[in-house]
Structure 1
């Protein structure tokens, strides 16, 4: 599938505005991922976002905005959907072991196709329900799909190492959700995110055990 050249320009411009160190080869892979997402979305409804330009801003640039705050320790993306933010992280951090988890078979089949076509050896795709997945805990648990911080910690807690962190991608600063954090957990850091061509606030909240 041939992409509209303006999408490459939009992506490159956004990456430049965010001052991210991403190679041309990685940009090309991000565009390959976008092309696959557009193609598969027509048949399998992987995301409600249909407009390719909106996919660049709301999916790719939004995912890339957290790069400066992700460490080199293994990370799991819970409720990954079509691989967001996990696949962009795997593309731009080839040294990072990324696991994506989703219970929707169509979405994990798509992710596995992306892994195969883009040669993402650092990506592990898991198709199962969250409550059924039990492995060695991860140092980083990330999601942009959970309804509340309380639910994220309750449901993904067993996947997070005792010294690990939860990275929650949010819109507005969630004062009320933070007030309802389960006992024993606290907000470690909060980073406002500047996502080009995206309206409204974006925040990355890093939570951990006290």
Structure 2
């Protein structure tokens, strides 16, 4: 997998403004995911190149928006997306992967161990039941739910100035219009994912200061 995907991964990283040296740990993660996926069905995407584009590069498109954060909770992370690629690319960021599915959580713990990700922890929990000791700078979610539902489930996790950085395809104006009280849009960013023609947006939602 490394030999066949390295050129595309290095090109994608360059287009995202990230160091090509990240290709090795990212491809290590993809190889592990592909191996486990054969048995555990962690993701519907099977083709390695499609996994690179739609999982890894797609996740990394939001990296500029987490670079200054100290802590991030990735809600309903599944096989670790976007949390693991972001943690690999941002060593100063502590990422907590929140996943209630037992087999996915087992994979996440194995990935953290094998990839030696000292800045990643796994919380095997339903989002609404997760009670961390300290609040997070931001929460993120990718293909999890509508914006109002994400905040309903996980709105207790960010701190007073905390953000929800939600990855979306087409701009979900109806979801933005339905945001619960106490939250407002701080910014909407169009993301360019190398190798992907589809629309991608990052919606940055922040608590409103009372």
> Any gaps of 5 or more consecutive residues in structure 2?
none
Deviations 1:39-60 (A, max 9, x none): 0000000001111110000000
Q: Give the secondary-structure state (helix, strand or coil) at the position aligned to 1:158.
A: coil
Deviations 1:135-159 (A, max 9, x none): 2211110111322111111111111
Q: Deviations over 1:67-109 (max 9, x none)?
A: 1111232110000000001111111111111100000111111
Stretches (4+) displaced over 6 A: none
Which of 130, 134, 149 is residue 133 of structure 1 equivalent to? Answer: 130
Cross-structure match for 2:153: 155
Displacement, 1:199?
A: 2.5
Distance in structure 1 (CA, Å) of the matches to 2:130 and 2:26: 28
Q: TM-score, normalised by structure 1?
A: 0.95
Rounded to whole Å, the distance in 2 between the matches of 1:27 and 1:41 is 20
Tell me the residue number matched to 1:35: 31
Q: 2:205 aligns with which of 187, 204, 207?
A: 207
Counterpart mapping for 1:58-137 below 5 A = 58-70=54-66, 71-135=68-132, 136-137=134-135
| Distance apart, 1:23 and its partner CA | 5.0
C-alpha distance in 1 between matches for 2:6 and 2:128:
39
Q: Alpha-carbon deviations, 1:9-58, whole Å to 9, x = none?
A: 111111111222x251x321101000001100000000011111100000
**Matched positions, count:** 206
- TM normalised by structure 2 equals 0.95
**Take 2:192 and 2:157, find their aligned partners in 1: how far apart are those partners?**
29
Secondary structure at the counterpart of residue 118 of structure 2:
coil
Unaligned runs of 5+ in 1: none
